[in-house]
């Protein structure tokens, strides 16, 4: 892992299209601004991980779905 | 923004027509799968190696649909239009999402909340729906930063 020391308003560039800038440094957290092209997905890690785990748990539920399908067909 | 999903994917496949094991696929079925393949250029979180999926419908499962990978590790999800579960469901697509889908604000899109099961309880992921642009056959799982909808919207409780 590359490790940098950055002060407020200083930035890191990743390639020629991505910029990561330190906006504010507080006692409990650091506010970071990311500039990236639209085709680069940027997510908070915990959100991505939560969705990832939900997807893993979602594969082919081993339950009888006909009852659920029947119920969902009701208006 | 949630839009009408009335537009069906071209030639919907029947879930019954596709055998469980990939080796068992006849050339006809394989060709059908390839013709109906929906590409997911970014994969799906947890299944990043799966880039091509098909949408399978059957009368028995309706309004549920199966979303199955036809490339990479086997993966099969059950999905349902989130608007059938929650009236007024709206999930905003970012410019990044629209661009990835090859869609503009007016493109008709298909929406699926992925259904999962834990301890006999079925729930639907309303937070991060799968969105498909049937005109371009491109799909993507949308990961909104706002937590407007739950990842586990309970559909049934334990019998």
- Give the pLDDT confidence of B74-131 residue by residue, as tens digits: 888 999 999 999 888 988 888 889 999 999 888 899 999 999 888 778 889 999 999 9
Report the distance separating Cα B56 and Cα A72, nearest Å: 17
Contacts of B99 in chain A (CB under 8 A): 38-39
pLDDT band at B2 (very low <50, low <70, confident <90, very high): very low
pLDDT at B119: 79
Provide the shortest C-alpha distance from residue B51 to chain A (in Å).
15
Chain B interface includes A2 (CB < 8 A): no
State the pLDDT confidence band at B9, using cuts at 50, 70 and 90.
Answer: very low
**Cβ atoms A17, A1 nearer than 8 A:** no
Q: Give the pairing type, strands B138-141 and B153-154.
A: unpaired
Rounded to 5 degrees, what are φ and ψ at B131? -120, 135
Distance (Å) from the alpha carbon of B1 to chain A's nearest alpha carbon: 18
Tokens of B44: 């799906």
Is residue A74 predicted with pLDDT exceeding 70? yes
Region B18-43: mean pLDDT is 71
Pick B62 or B26 by higher pLDDT. B62
Residue B5: the pLDDT is 42
HSE (CB half, 13 Å, CA atoms) of B146? 7
Sorting pLDDT into bands at 50, 70 and 90, what band is B20? low
Distance separating alpha carbons of residues A24 and A9, to the nearest angstrom? 8
Catalogue the E-assigned strands of B21-69: 38-39, 52-57, 65-69
pLDDT confidence of residue B8 = 44
Task: Look up the pTM and report it.
Answer: 0.77
Give the mean model confidence (pLDDT) for residues B26-47: 81
Structure tokens at A53: 């785990």
* Band of residue B15 on the pLDDT scale cut at 50, 70, 90: low
- Which residues on chain B are in Cβ contact (under 8 Å) with A56? 46
The candidate with the shortest Cα–Cα distance to B82, out of B135, B159, B155, is B155
Which of A55, A57, A67, A75 to probe by mutation at the B interface, max B CB count within 10 Å? A55
């Amino acid at each position: 892992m590359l490790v940098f020391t950055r002060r407020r308003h200083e930035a890191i560039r990743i390639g020629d299209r991505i910029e990561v800038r330190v906006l504010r440094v507080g006692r409990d957290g650091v506010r970071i601004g990311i500039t990236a092209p639209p085709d680069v997905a940027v997510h908070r890690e915990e959100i991505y991980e939560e969705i990832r785990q939900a997807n893993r748990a979602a594969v082919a539920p081993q339950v009888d779905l006909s009852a659920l399908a029947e119920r969902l067909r009701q208006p | 923004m949630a839009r009408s999903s009335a537009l069906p994917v071209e030639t919907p496949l029947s879930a019954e027509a596709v055998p469980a094991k990939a080796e068992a696929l006849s050339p006809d079925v394989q060709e059908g799968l390839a013709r109906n393949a929906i590409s997911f250029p970014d994969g799906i979180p947890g299944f990043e190696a799966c880039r091509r999926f098909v949408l399978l419908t059957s009368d028995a499962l309706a309004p549920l649909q199966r979303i199955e990978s036809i490339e990479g590790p086997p993966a099969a999800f059950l999905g349902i239009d989130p608007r059938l579960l929650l009236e007024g469901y709206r999930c905003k697509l970012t410019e990044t999402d629209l661009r990835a889908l090859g869609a503009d604000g007016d493109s008709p899109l298909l929406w699926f909340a992925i259904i999962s099961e834990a301890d006999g309880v079925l729930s639907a992921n309303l937070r991060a729906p799968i969105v498909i642009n049937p005109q371009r056959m491109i799909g993507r799982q949308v990961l909104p930063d706002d937590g407007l909808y739950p990842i586990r919207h309970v559909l049934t409780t334990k019998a």
